[in-house]
Amino acid sequence: MFVGYFTERPYQDPGAEWYDRYTAMQDLALSNGVIDPVKQADLYHRYFDEKQYIEKMGFDGVMLNSHHSTPFCMGGGPMNVEAGILSRITEKLKIILLGNVLPIWEDPLWLVEELGMIDVLSRGRLVSGFVRGTGRESIAHNSQSPYNWERFQEAHDFIIKAWTDPGPFRWEGKHYQYRYVNPWVRPYSQPHPQVWIPGIMSKSTIDWACAHRYPYVMLDSQLELTAQTFDYYRSQAKENGYEAGPQHLGYMFKIHVDETEEKAYETGRKLIEGAGNLFLDGSNGEANPWAQNLPGLNQRKQSNYLPTSQFLHVKRSRGVNLEGEELDFTEAPAPTPEEREFRRKQIFDGLLDRYAVIVGTPETVAKKVRHVLETLRPGNIIFWHGDGDFSHEDTMRGIRLMGEELLPQIRDMAKELDLPGAFEVDPATNQRVGEATPMPVG
């Protein structure tokens, strides 16, 4: 079992008008003029401190993501910079990037070089996830949305070739062309860093991930729908001639462990408050549906969508119309503070009911995590914690309790349930790591 840790590194500003728990943040509507660089410096330092602590407390990896031009993720542009810093200030953690938004890069050779350096500096600890990005990423870097999927695939093929084939070589692709490819860095991981692919919406991404034998990581959603999606991965793996095991499946969910149930509930609520991820159910904000449904960005056929895409919030955030009906974005009348509080609580309780968020003491959380592991059988799980409105103290307390009391129980469960992670059984070969024939270098 691989256990990772994730936070989106939100820009927190308690007290600011835009930040209030009951103010629904509108995607793309907030000016960066509200940023206080001094506060931001403190936050960047804090998040690095927390990552060093998760290593100390026994996590296997730290995951970073990349959303651009938004307060809910300060790793938009700088994700690879963060990864570079982590390569130097941590020693054992795998650095999981989920991921670089390939289509928005005009020059993916930069990625070959940056990611190569991160893998070398960390001595092979990079997991290089790749994503297509939400609409906001295409807007932020002005990438032509109809070619998003083509560019994703070509940039990927180019990066893998540049990592694995000795240069120099020439690349004359449809979207990328190079006279001379000969980057002066080669991955420490051979033949190249593991590639993980996150997703929640489209079958074509799973089909593609399966064809490359890349582990697929799902974000918190309803367990049953996630299970159906994992079944789809397994069936596609068979189509591609291999058996998908737990090593191919990842699941990320929000979690908080605290000293009492009450404290866990009240603190856990903060995961969906503050500058939370606009794209996920329970977030305190609205994604701009048109930005998420940029021209040609999403496939139109309903059959391309995964069971997990049926969540209203996911659909709305993508502006996708699955039933052939127009989405109604009419504003409801402003609720009273009591109504807002009631509604926010109701949303959180709903997330708890369907295991999209798990909170409690180590004992109760362990039982719930066991239920998740039994239902989904992932070999890789990622705890989404310390996000939204979490303070540093909340985060450190939770990490400590997870490390001291929860992780040992999860390790035992994983052994009992036979859930090997992607670094115990190689997803590319299905061989136990250590048993595989070493790849020749050069």
Comparing CB distances to other proteins, the nearer of 31 and 142 is: 142
Question: Count of CB atoms within 10 A of residue 323's CB?
Answer: 10
Shortest separation between residue 154's beta carbon and other proteins, angstroms = 14
Comparing CB distances to other proteins, the nearer of 283 and 293 is: 293
Distance CA 144, CA 317 (A): 19
CA dihedral 18, 20, 21, 23 (to 10 degrees): -50
Comparing CB distances to other proteins, the nearer of 113 and 150 is: 150
Shortest separation between residue 300's beta carbon and other proteins, angstroms = 9
317: which DSSP letter?
Answer: H
Comparing CB distances to other proteins, the nearer of 193 and 289 is: 289
Shortest separation between residue 325's beta carbon and other proteins, angstroms = 9
Distance CA 409, CA 390 (A): 25
Q: Do 429 and 387 contact (CB within 8 A), yes or no? A: no
Joined together, the tokens standing for residue 438 give: 């070493």
Shortest separation between residue 303's beta carbon and other proteins, angstroms = 18
Q: At what angle do helices 148-164 and 109-121 cross, to 10 degrees?
A: 50
In the complex, which residues of this chain contact other proteins (CB under 8 A)? 28, 139, 142, 144-147, 288-291, 294-296, 324, 326
**Bridge partner list, 254:** 357, 384
Peptide bond connecting 191 to the previous residue in cis, omega within 30 degrees of 0: yes
In a 3-state reduction of DSSP, which class is residue 420? Answer: coil
What are the angstrom distances between the C-alpha of 405 and each of 262, 280, 361, 366, 390? Answer: 18, 29, 9, 9, 20
Comparing CB distances to other proteins, the nearer of 154 and 394 is: 154
Comparing CB distances to other proteins, the nearer of 287 and 396 is: 287
Shortest separation between residue 324's beta carbon and other proteins, angstroms = 8
Shortest separation between residue 26's beta carbon and other proteins, angstroms = 11
213: which DSSP letter?
Answer: T
- For 77, phi and psi rounded to 5 degrees? -75, -40
Distance CA 366, CA 397 (A): 17
Shortest separation between residue 30's beta carbon and other proteins, angstroms = 14
Closest CA to 276 of 70, 133, 80, 42: 70
Shortest separation between residue 279's beta carbon and other proteins, angstroms = 15
- Residues near 241 by beta carbon (within 8 Å), at least 6 away in sequence: none
Q: Do 108 and 158 contact (CB within 8 A), yes or no? A: yes
Comparing CB distances to other proteins, the nearer of 87 and 145 is: 145
Shortest separation between residue 205's beta carbon and other proteins, angstroms = 20
Comparing CB distances to other proteins, the nearer of 299 and 409 is: 299
Radius of gyration of the chain (CA): 21
Q: At what angle do helices 223-239 and 203-211 cross, to 10 degrees?
A: 40
Comparing CB distances to other proteins, the nearer of 291 and 306 is: 291
The burial of 377, by beta-carbon neighbours within 10 Å (0-12 exposed, 13-18 middle, 19 or more buried), is given as middle
Joined together, the tokens standing for residue 155 give: 């940039």
Comparing CB distances to other proteins, the nearer of 197 and 287 is: 287
Secondary structure element (H or E) that encloses residue 171, with its range:
strand 169-172
Distance CA 367, CA 388 (A): 25
Comparing CB distances to other proteins, the nearer of 44 and 290 is: 290
- Residues near 42 by beta carbon (within 8 Å), at least 6 away in sequence: none
Joined together, the tokens standing for residue 70 give: 């938004």
Shortest separation between residue 135's beta carbon and other proteins, angstroms = 8
Shortest separation between residue 145's beta carbon and other proteins, angstroms = 6
